[in-house]
């Protein structure tokens, strides 16, 4: 009897592992991530047009990106906590509708303040959406496929950065910045229809199962993942935010676009590697990515006068960073269990704090010590990351169970 049961369980495990992924539903989530990032970053490529259209300086136009990030940072945790009981598809549709409204107002507005309010609404929608996506993708599949499902749902973000923003900038130069945002609004509406027809619905969390924010924060492993996110993404943004002056000091200032292209292509490779291996090797991939990023930082610090070394190091950095978001979101989703959405909102907040911190810390380093200070600071942050990942072998980044 025991042998028979074991055989049945083994067959069930094989069926569960090899069940086809709900690709159509996961692609809808990926497109939601695409819309989120493109809505955030599109003004950066159209600053001169926007400043002329709204009769403001380019510096003020640049704050359209800043206020979006502020909305996401401020709204992620409280909004996710307040909506724990709502049905998930309804909440997802509301978040996407926020982008449709924000981009429509941006298209039509002739007043800077109104445009800023619209951008703030877009940021609020982004904070909510990022808190939803990973947990939503994980609910669609069995435990053995959660990592791959999250990887597919997250692929829209790097695609938006590597392809969407350049395409949107080109389109804006051809037909005007307002039409670019109008197209984004139409895209969001079409995506809402897709989500309503193809994405399964899930209930919100029952009242008796909801955890307070402090309870989620103290769950074993959650703080480890959040620290890793903060340190790793801070290291990334110190370098990424100030990559232009770093390359200028290395004599590659005129090759910044090519260096960023190498980073973007390598990031896509990193996403693919993580998507294939994450469900069995999350811990190993996180350790390997951290080590690879640290080696890249050391190479950039020691061999910045050698163009070939810079390109190789940037490619390694791209591979390491490409799959990082998927690794961290999968780790916290598995660690937090039923409280995954609230834990994801903490991850969103930590990620945005790291982005802001990268600009601040990198700027201080650049002003007082120069770009030579970047590599040592990055290495220290990444060694701390490595230590925390290594120690979180029970919860957070557990050993694989073969």
Please classify residue 9 by burial: count the beta carbons closer than 10 Å to its beta carbon, then call 0-12 exposed, 13-18 middle and 19+ buried.
exposed
Q: How far apart are CA 328 and CA 397, in angstroms?
A: 9
Shared domain for 188 and 298, answered yes or no, is: no
Same domain? For 241 and 116 the reply is: no
- Within 8 A by CB and 6+ apart from 347, the residues are 225, 226, 229, 328, 329, 332
Whether 14 is in a domain gets the answer: no
Number of domains in the chain: 2
**Residues recorded for the chain:** 402
Instruction: Establish if 59 belongs to a structural domain.
Output: yes
Rounded distance between C-alpha atoms, residue 191 and residue 18, angstroms: 28
Residue 123 lies inside a defined structural domain of this protein = yes
Does residue 154 sit in the same domain as residue 220? no
15 lies in some domain: no
Does one domain contain both 192 and 228?
no
CA distance 251 to 244: 10
Task: Report if residue 13 sits inside a domain.
Answer: no
CATH number for the domain harbouring residue 312: 1.20.1250.20
Residue position matching structure tokens 């703080």: 223
Q: Which helix (H) or strand (E) holds 162?
A: none
Residue that terminates a domain, selected from 180, 203, 226: 203
Mean pLDDT of 262-276: 87
Overall pTM surpassing 0.85 (yes/no): no
179, 203, 227 - which closes a domain: 203
Assess if residue 398 is contained within a domain: no
Domain that holds residue 196: 21-203
In a domain? residue 8: no
Within a domain: 3: no
b vs e for 327-344, b when ≥16 Cβ sit within 10 Å of the residue's Cβ?
Answer: bbbbbbbbbbeebbbbbb
DSSP string, 239-272: HHHTHHHHHHHTT-GGGHHHHHHHHHHHHHHHHH
pLDDT digits (tens, 9 = 90+) for 8-21: 444 444 444 456 88
Same domain, 309 and 250: yes
Which of 203, 223, 257 represents a domain boundary (last residue)?
A: 203
324 shares its domain with 282: yes
Is 195 in the same domain as 242? no
Residues 169 and 66 in one domain: yes
Q: How confident is the model at residue 164 (pLDDT cuts 50, 70, 90)?
A: confident
Q: Kindly report, residue by residue over 187-246, the tens digit of the pLDDT.
A: 999 999 999 998 999 887 776 667 777 888 888 999 999 999 999 999 998 888 788 788
Lowest-confidence region among 167-176, 179-188, 196-205: 167-176
Q: How does pLDDT run across 18-70, given as a tens digit for each residue? A: 568 888 899 999 999 999 888 887 887 777 788 889 988 877 887 887 788 88
């Amino acid at each position: 009897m025991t042998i028979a049961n074991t055989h049945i369980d083994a067959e069930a495990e094989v069926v569960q592992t090899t069940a086809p992924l709900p690709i159509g539903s996961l692609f809808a989530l990926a497109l939601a991530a695409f819309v989120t990032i493109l809505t955030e970053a599109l003004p950066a490529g159209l600053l001169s047009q926007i400043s002329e259209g709204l009769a403001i300086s380019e510096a003020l136009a640049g704050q359209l990106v800043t206020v979006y990030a502020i909305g996401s940072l401020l709204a992620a945790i409280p909004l996710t906590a307040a909506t724990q009981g709502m049905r998930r598809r309804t909440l997802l549709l509301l978040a996407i509708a926020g982008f449709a409204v924000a981009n429509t107002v941006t298209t039509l507005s002739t007043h800077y303040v109104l445009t800023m309010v619209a951008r703030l609404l877009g940021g609020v929608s982004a904070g909510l959406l990022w808190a939803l996506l990973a947990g939503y993708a994980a609910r669609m599949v069995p435990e053995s496929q959660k990592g791959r499902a999250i990887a597919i749902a997250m692929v829209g973000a790097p695609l938006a950065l590597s392809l969407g923003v350049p395409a949107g900038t080109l389109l804006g130069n051809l037909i005007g910045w307002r039409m670019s945002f109008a197209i984004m609004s139409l895209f969001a509406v079409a995506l809402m229809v897709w989500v309503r027809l193809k994405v399964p619905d899930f209930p919100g969390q029952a009242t008796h199962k909801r955890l307070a924010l402090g309870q989620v924060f103290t769950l074993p492993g959650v703080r480890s993942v959040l620290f890793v996110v903060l340190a790793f993404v801070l290291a990334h943004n110190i370098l990424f935010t100030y990559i232009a002056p770093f390359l200028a000091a290395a004599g590659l200032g005129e090759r910044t676009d090519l260096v960023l292209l190498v980073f973007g292509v390598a990031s896509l490779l990193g996403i693919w590697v993580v998507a294939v291996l994450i469900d069995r090797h999350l811990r190993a991939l996180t350790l390997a990515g951290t080590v690879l990023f640290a080696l890249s930082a050391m190479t950039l610090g020691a061999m910045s006068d050698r163009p070939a070394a810079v390109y190789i190091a940037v490619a390694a950095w791209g591979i390491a960073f490409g799959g990082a978001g998927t690794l961290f979101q999968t780790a916290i989703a598995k660690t937090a269990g039923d409280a995954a959405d609230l834990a994801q909102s903490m991850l969103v907040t930590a990620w945005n704090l790291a982005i802001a911190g990268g600009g601040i810390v990198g700027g201080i380093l650049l002003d007082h010590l120069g770009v030579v200070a970047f590599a040592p600071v990055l290495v220290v942050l990444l060694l701390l990351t490595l230590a925390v990942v290594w120690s979180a072998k029970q919860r957070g980044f557990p050993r694989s169970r073969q």
